[in-house]
Amino acid sequence: MTREEVFFEVLKNRDGEVIEYGKVYEIINEIYDDFESRVCKNCFYYFEETCVCDESPLVTEIVDENYGCNKFKRKRDESIQI
């Protein structure tokens, strides 16, 4: 479900128009922003166009920085060790 579909389903009024309901609108945006940022360029394992996570199917392959996999770890995560 896209961000727009969620807005329409959760935030629509009786006439089917989408209305910004403050905190709910912010939370939906925050969730989708986080999900959409889980791409290789933001991943701890992205190094010089290559995925270096040995648990990822992308390891040793040249990857697009805008792609992401389910082994994503944020670069700022201090607990990750390579």
Lookup: tokens for 35: 């999900």
The confidence score (pLDDT) of residue 5 equals 86
48 in Cβ contact with 66 (< 8 Å):
no
Q: Give the residue carrying structure tokens 């709910």.
A: 24
Per residue of the chain (82 residues), give pLDDT as tens.
Answer: 888 888 778 777 667 666 667 788 888 889 899 888 889 889 999 988 999 998 888 888 898 888 888 888 888 765 555 4
Report the alpha-carbon distance of residue 70 to residue 22 in Å, rounded: 31
Of 41, 51, 35, the closest CA to residue 75 belongs to 41
